[in-house]
Amino acid sequence: MQKRASGILLHITSLPSEYGIGDLGPQAYRFADFLAKAGQSYWQVLPLTPPATEINGSPYSSISAFAGNTLLISPQLLKDEGLLTDLDKSGAVSYKTKLLNTAYKHFKNMPANPAYEKFCADNKFWLEDFALFAALREHFKRRLWGNWPAAVRNREKNTLESLRARLADAIDKEKFLQYQFFRQWFALKHYCNERKIQIIGDIPIYLAYDSADVWSNPQIFKLTAAKKPQFVSGVPPDRFSKTGQLWGNPVYNWQVLKAKGYNWWIERLKHNLALFDVVRIDHFTGFVSYWQVPAHHKTSAKGKWLKGPREDFFEKLQKLVPLSNFIVEDLGPLGSAVDELVEKFRFAPTRVLQFGFGGNPALNPHRPYNLAKNSVFYTSTHDCNTAKGWFEKEVKDKQAVFDYIGRKVSAEQIHWELIRLAMSAVSYLVIIPLQDILGLGREARMNVPATTKGNWKWRFERGQITGQITKKLAKLTHIFGRI
């Protein structure tokens, strides 16, 4: 059984920065220092893969299952390495892109780098196709790959060889940027691990259609003969949306994946286990059953459920990697098929305190007294309102919350009461979004499901994490045996 511990959920983009979004530079190291001072054992991030939409794009819709988001590269660290000279303070993505291009030009003029060559060789499985795809994506002015010339869309060998020669410099730039991203990432991870902080990563179950993986592995997705999506992902109508959520990602052809020994998925999970100490699998339900919607539909309402790979996949996976390093987003009811799969392979399921105040208490898996020791308990998640925002705008029966925590409190105090309640739970691990530590309202919410505007933008500011907050968090962590 895992030791009792706690940690904080904060995506890299939410760190303070003068360059548009948070990055892997000095502010990330300062945040790691805060975690250590506050007695935290985990730092959970959202997916680090490049979003299909660069500016405030969802990290859960990526153009690669393996590549890193190069906008997270720190210009300051590039300067320290001698790859950049002067740095202006600009929040524009275009400026940061210009800096990265400049760093590549300097790198080209340097002596051969054995570490870079080793990185390219070690990551050949995904890097060659990704670098070519990224270069082609710019060459074709960001048109969807399904609208590229047929010979390129269908990956005809002679055509691709010709394009590799023509776009050699652009391809090399993409490899260089990936090398820099992973160098900076592993340096930060090492810094955290030295301070006894483990990193929890996150794997979205689906990819964007406009991705290197769908282009280079079309057979493992349900596509038409013209390589367009035949069916797309989503969820049926629920409390978030009356027409369901139409995510639009192409769904997997699990029969083909099974025939191939699930190789692509296994490589993806092994890659992430190298990047992180623990990996959260988002929308774990998709391995049991998935909602498939014809691609031409405008909403998700008329899709249908199909069976996922279930035990067959995880029985093969457990022979290759330790399943104890995974936590899974299992938000289904107790006794469901998902719950049975979680129990069989002893995954640590996620539970969310905000969800624990509704429905039948005896059947609500998020109710604190229904939790198992082998679970990960959140006050809120990236898809939820903040604790304060939830209490102010979504809780209809505030007295029920007061009854549970044992006293009446104001909206300004509620976040610490919910943190205390989560910390006291039997779950071996408690994760608290930084927004809840800071007591921020709905203006700090990261994402609203079934919407596309205004998400993934929140960043905290320097000075918001005070010494008083650090001490209070450390004290609670000590009181409940999670230090």
Rounded Cα distance, 245 and 223, in Å: 20
Rounded Cα distance, 447 and 346, in Å: 30
Q: Catalytic annotation on 383?
A: yes
User: Average pLDDT of 400-404?
Assistant: 89
Rounded Cα distance, 277 and 160, in Å: 37
For residue 294, tell me if it sits in a domain.
Answer: no
Q: Which residue is catalytic, options 54, 129, 282, 417?
A: 282
Q: Do the Cβ atoms of 32 and 191 come closer than 8 Å?
A: yes
Confidence of residue 392 (pLDDT cuts 50, 70, 90): very high
**Tens of pLDDT along 238-294?**
776 788 888 899 999 999 999 999 999 999 999 999 999 999 999 999 999 999 999
Model pLDDT, residue 457: 94
Q: Which residue is catalytic, options 81, 267, 277, 383?
A: 383
For residue 440, tell me if it sits in a domain.
Answer: yes
* Res. 302: pLDDT tops 60: yes
Model pLDDT, residue 420: 97
For residue 298, tell me if it sits in a domain.
Answer: no
Model pLDDT, residue 290: 94
Q: Catalytic annotation on 343?
A: no
User: Average pLDDT of 372-376?
Assistant: 96
**Tens of pLDDT along 107-141?**
999 998 999 999 999 999 999 999 999 999 999 99
Model pLDDT, residue 47: 98
Of residues 452 and 50, more confidence is placed in 50
* Res. 452: pLDDT tops 90: no
Model pLDDT, residue 332: 60
Question: What domain range is 474 assigned to?
Answer: 1-44+349-483
For residue 472, tell me if it sits in a domain.
Answer: yes
Model pLDDT, residue 333: 58
**Tens of pLDDT along 311-332?**
999 999 999 999 999 999 987 6
User: Average pLDDT of 42-65?
Assistant: 92
Q: Which two tokens stand for residue 267?
A: 């490589």
DSSP state of 229: B
Q: Catalytic annotation on 238?
A: no
Rounded to two decimals, the pTM is: 0.96
Q: Which residue is catalytic, options 329, 330, 417, 436?
A: 329
Task: Name the residue among 79, 245, 210, 46 with its Cα closest to residue 137.
Answer: 210
**Tens of pLDDT along 73-118?**
999 999 999 999 877 666 667 888 899 999 999 999 999 899 999 9
Model pLDDT, residue 90: 60
For residue 383, tell me if it sits in a domain.
Answer: yes
Confidence of residue 361 (pLDDT cuts 50, 70, 90): confident
Model pLDDT, residue 89: 64
CA dihedral 328, 385, 199, 8 (to 10 degrees): -130
Confidence of residue 334 (pLDDT cuts 50, 70, 90): low
Q: For the residues of 109-120, what is the DSSP string, one character each?
A: TSPP-HHHHHHH
For residue 474, tell me if it sits in a domain.
Answer: yes
For residue 33, tell me if it sits in a domain.
Answer: yes
Q: Which two tokens stand for residue 411?
A: 């909206």
Which amino acid is present at 478? H
For residue 177, tell me if it sits in a domain.
Answer: no
Measured over all CA atoms, what is the biggest interatomic distance in the chain, rounded to whole angstroms? Answer: 72
When mean pLDDT is compared over 60-69, 361-370, 397-406, the highest value belongs to 60-69
The angle at the Cα of 445, spanning 441 to 46, to the nearest 5 degrees, equals 140
* Res. 194: pLDDT tops 70: yes
**Tens of pLDDT along 5-26?**
999 999 999 999 988 889 999 9
- Kindly provide the b/e burial profile for residues 263-291, where b requires at least 16 CB atoms within 10 angstroms of the residue's own CB: ebbbebbebbbebbbbbbbbbbbbbbbbb
User: Average pLDDT of 48-67?
Assistant: 91
**Tens of pLDDT along 169-190?**
999 999 999 999 999 999 999 9
Least confident interval from 162-166, 307-311, 339-343: 339-343
The tally of domains found in the chain comes to: 1
